[in-house]
Structure 1
Amino acid sequence: MRSLFYLCAALAVMALAFWAYRENYATQQALKDVSKLNREISALREAIRMQRAEWAYLNRPERLSELAAVNFDRLGLLPLQSEQFARPENLPMPPVDLPDVTDAVDVMAATAEEEAQP
């Protein structure tokens, strides 16, 4: 009986050692994957920063105005002037659809004294 117990205990220790060995390597692989993903995220963030800087560089007002002047014959772009904008009161507004009122309803606001009385 005692030898059976020792054999089961030895098998349990071996199984736990094998499990711990596999978990150790799985954890190391997961840490490598996380490190790789963090490097990839960092590289992508750097690429986004670079693209934003390029976008800002390409959209400089002096560069765009120079391009508009160079390509005036083809594009026909003119500088904006204040006369080109409409005033808010001149803009067409959609009609407001109000529901039909069929029954008159009396609305009365209660004063603070009326609310205090039981």
Structure 2
Amino acid sequence: MLRTFDIILITVMLAAATVTYKIKYDAEKRMAEIRTLQRKIDFEKDTITLLKADWSLLTQPNRLQKLVEVYQSELDLAPIDAKQIGSLNDIPERPADEIENIISGSDELLAAIKKTDEIKTGSVRQGQ
């Protein structure tokens, strides 16, 4: 009887040791993946910062002015006149029939929106 109990305990200890080792190995593997992803994220952040710096250098007004002067004949650019800048009053009004088409189309759009609002996804709580 004592021998059978000892064999059962040894088997349980071996199983527990195996499970513990597997859990430890999986955790170390996940930590290595996390470190790799963190390095990639840091690299991408550095790249974004570098690209923002490059963009700010490329869009400096002095640099753009020099490029305009160099390529003036090819671009055929001219300074903006004050009369080119308009106001809301300068925009012509739409004809009434176009407005009616827009309004009638909005009823269909509102019906479609209401229909999609009735679909319950579980991610939105009612009454909040």
How would you bin the TM-score normalised by the shorter chain?
0.7 to 0.9
Q: CA deviation at 1:6?
A: 2.1
Q: CA deviation at 1:8?
A: 1.7
How far apart, CA to CA, are the structure 1 residues paired with 2:89 and 2:7?
94
Which residue number in structure 2 is paired with residue 7 of structure 1?
A: 7
Q: CA deviation at 1:43?
A: 1.0
Rg larger in 1 or in 2? Answer: 1
Instruction: List structure 1 segments (4+ residues) > 6 angstroms apart after TM superposition.
Output: none
Q: CA deviation at 1:12?
A: 1.2
Q: CA deviation at 1:75?
A: 0.5
**Structure 1 stretches lacking a partner, 5+ long:** 100-118
Q: CA deviation at 1:58?
A: 0.1
How far apart, CA to CA, are the structure 2 residues paired with 1:27 and 1:87?
64
What is the aligned residue count?
A: 99
Map residues 9-88 of structure 1 onto 2, 5 A cutoff.
9-88=9-88
Q: TM-score, normalised by structure 2?
A: 0.69
Identify the structure with the greater helix proportion.
2
State the AA in 2 paired with 1:78.
A
Query: Percent identity of the aligned residues?
Result: 23
**Structure 2 stretches lacking a partner, 5+ long:** 105-128
Q: CA deviation at 1:87?
A: 2.5
How far apart, CA to CA, are the structure 2 residues paired with 1:38 and 1:81?
51
How far apart, CA to CA, are the structure 2 residues paired with 1:68 and 1:93?
37
Q: TM-score, normalised by structure 1?
A: 0.75
Residues 67-90 of structure 1, C-alpha deviation per residue, up to 9 Å, x if partnerless? 111101000111222211222112
State the AA in 2 paired with 1:3.
R
Coordinate RMSD, CA, aligned: 1.7
